[in-house]
């Protein structure tokens, strides 16, 4: 392969020229109107590759890549973490296929991994002796707490909390963005036990000049330079004082695993997972917006205004990502499953940032019509909500189930990627799966 040549994935190919993509994929001449192509030989070709007829083919949007195809290039699975997909091994980054996220409380073995540096020795050893948490900066009484002091001095609470990487869904943007090519699996909802960040900050006495927190971990920069932080992010004081943020020391009633931040980490739900510092060692209260590693430039930022795909946006026009958008996931059946004609149960989870989810809808005709799904109560704020419904597949063939959540402000997941941004953040497009009715 020359420097000018590279392979293109289906998403990029279809985004550039749907007609040419149809021609390449199906080996037939596509008409100007793709729906014209989805007749006769063209429809037969698509059905042949999918392996079934398509009952709602007339409703299939122009340029849509069948979900059955989109799953073909998910990467190699590994057994060490119960079927997760390795996206990177230095640092370690792994995502979870949607069907393995069916549990209401995500097991540690199925929780995605997003690391920026190398694991600290303390986490690898599993021995928290000598660990302390420093709270300093714009506070009246700086604190240095051992794990035992943290547990004894503050009320312990347990909450089910969603943690999601801001780059979840990056793989579907076009033009593509550099970074881990997350599809849908950089999200989880485990049960976290710890103390409220708010209580610790109040004990330190936050001064009126306080603007932002700065978080620091024990992990090592990939360069090995001890003076460099792999990541050091923070949140505005108003968010930090929200009562659902935890300094956590247990995950699913077990010590936090090494990959997830042993012995202590922050869990700041509703905002990008990067705010939930792992291997926590220090919280600095600052009188300015924190400027730590991956807080500046285009890191965890999106344009302050809509931009055309591929636009270079000045750093001064990028805003920090705060509350995450409304989102949902289909966890059963697994995409590509064979099911019987008739009633099929479909289920999954829905979640959002600071604005609660209030409704869930599902379509089996490529978004032409939508029906409501049952939405369970959330066990606590910032947990995801189980949703269930039954779809009726009247004849055999290929179907897609599309799912969208709607938040309290009436904002619903879009059918395609939302506003393009240079780093491929906050993609909350609808989730869809392929089913084969026989």
- Strand, helix or coil at 387? strand
Complete DSSP assignment for 136-171: EESBSS-EEEEHHHHHHHS-EEEEEEEEE-TTTTGG
- Judge whether 280 and 264 are in contact, CB under 8 Å: yes
Least confident of 73-82, 186-195, 234-243: 73-82
Gap between the terminal Cα atoms of the chain: 42
- Say whether the peptide bond before residue 370 is cis (omega within 30 degrees of 0): no
- Judge whether 240 and 317 are in contact, CB under 8 Å: no
What is the pLDDT at residue 20?
59
* 65 Ramachandran zone, left/alpha/beta (phi>0; psi -120 to 50): beta
Closest CA to 110 of 333, 260, 274: 260
Q: Where in the chain is the domain with CATH 3.90.420.10?
A: 90-320
Cα 58 from chain centre: 32
Q: What is the pLDDT of residues 34-84, one digit of tens each?
A: 455 555 666 666 666 666 788 887 888 766 777 766 544 333 333 447 799
Edge-first strand order for the sheet with 113-114 is: 85-89, 92-95, 113-114
Cα distance between residue 398 and residue 48, in whole Å: 11
What is the pLDDT at residue 98?
97
Give the CA dihedral 255, 260, 261, 267, nearest 10 degrees.
-90
Average pLDDT over residues 250-277: 97
- Say whether the peptide bond before residue 194 is cis (omega within 30 degrees of 0): no
> Tokens representing 116?
């920026």
Least confident of 36-45, 250-259, 429-438: 36-45
Q: Where in the chain is the domain with CATH 2.60.40.650?
A: 327-437
Least confident of 12-21, 167-176, 210-219, 315-324: 12-21
Listed in sequence order, the residues at least 6 apart from 3 whose beta carbon sits closer than 8 Å to its beta carbon are none
What is the pLDDT at residue 110?
96
Which strand (E) or helix (H) includes residue 88? strand 85-89
Q: Does the pLDDT value for residue 13 go beyond 80? A: no
Give the CA dihedral 121, 122, 125, 130, nearest 10 degrees.
130
Closest CA to 84 of 112, 106, 115, 105: 112
What is the pLDDT at residue 50?
66
Task: Look up the CATH number of domain 327-437.
Answer: 2.60.40.650
Q: What is the pLDDT of residues 95-134, one digit of tens each?
A: 999 999 999 999 999 999 999 999 999 999 999 999 999 9
What is the pLDDT at residue 6?
35
What is the pLDDT at residue 18?
63
Q: What is the pLDDT of residues 376-428, one digit of tens each?
A: 999 999 999 999 999 999 999 999 999 999 999 999 999 999 999 999 999 99
Cα distance between residue 276 and residue 282, in whole Å: 13
Exposure of 319 by Cβ count < 10 A (0-12 exposed, 13-18 middle, 19+ buried)?
exposed
pTM: 0.86
Pairing mode, if any, of strands 187-196 and 254-255?
unpaired
Cα distance between residue 189 and residue 164, in whole Å: 9
Backbone angles phi, psi at 47, to 5 degrees: -60, -35
Question: How much of the chain exceeds pLDDT 90, in percent?
Answer: 77
CATH 2.40.128.20 fits 90-320, yes or no: no
């Amino acid at each position: 392969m020359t420097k000018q040549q590279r392979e293109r994935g289906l998403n990029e190919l279809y985004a550039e020229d749907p007609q040419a993509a149809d021609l390449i994929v199906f080996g037939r001449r596509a008409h100007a109107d793709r729906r014209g192509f989805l007749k006769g030989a063209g429809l037969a070709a698509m059905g042949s590759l999918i392996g079934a007829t398509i009952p709602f083919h007339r409703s299939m949007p122009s340029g849509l890549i069948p979900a059955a195809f989109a799953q073909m290039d998910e990467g190699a699975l590994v057994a060490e973490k119960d079927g997760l997909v390795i996206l990177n091994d230095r640092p370690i980054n792994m995502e979870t296929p949607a069907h393995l996220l069916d549990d209401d409380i995500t097991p540690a073995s199925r929780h995605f991994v997003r690391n920026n540096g190398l694991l600290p020795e303390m986490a690898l050893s599993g021995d928290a002796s000598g660990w302390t948490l420093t709270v300093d900066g714009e506070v009246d009484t700086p604190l240095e707490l051992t794990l035992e002091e943290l547990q004894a001095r503050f009320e312990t609470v347990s909450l089910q909390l969603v943690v999601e990487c801001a780059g979840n869904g990056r793989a579907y943007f076009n033009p593509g963005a550099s970074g881990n090519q997350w599809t849908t699996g950089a999200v989880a909802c485990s049960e976290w036990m710890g103390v409220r960040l708010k209580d610790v900050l109040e004990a330190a006495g936050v001064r009126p000049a306080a603007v932002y927190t700065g978080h620091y971990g024990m992990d090592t920069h990939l360069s090995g330079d001890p003076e460099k932080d792999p990541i050091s992010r923070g949140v505005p004081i108003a968010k930090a004082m929200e009562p659902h943020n935890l300094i956590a020391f247990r995950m699913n009633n077990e010590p936090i695993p090494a990959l997830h931040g042993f012995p202590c980490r922050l869990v700041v739900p509703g905002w990008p997972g990067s705010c939930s510092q792992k291997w926590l060692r220090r919280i600095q209260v600052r009188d300015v917006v924190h400027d730590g590693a991956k807080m500046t430039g285009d890191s965890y930022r999106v344009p302050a205004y809509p931009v055309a795909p591929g636009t270079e946006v000045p750093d001064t026009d990028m805003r920090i990502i705060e509350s995450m958008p409304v989102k949902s996931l289909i966890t059963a059946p697994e995409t590509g499953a064979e099911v019987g004609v008739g009633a099929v149960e479909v289920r999954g989870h829905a979640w959002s940032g600071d604005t609660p989810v209030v409704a869930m809808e599902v379509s089996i005709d490529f978004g032409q019509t939508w029906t409501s799904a049952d939405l369970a109560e959330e066990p606590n704020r910032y947990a995801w909500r189980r949703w269930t419904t039954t779809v009726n597949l009247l004849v055999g063939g290929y179907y897609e189930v599309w799912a969208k959540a709607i938040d309290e402000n009436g904002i619903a997941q879009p059918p395609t990627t939302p506003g393009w941004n240079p780093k491929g953040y906050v993609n909350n497009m609808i989730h869809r799966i392929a089913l084969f009715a026989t």
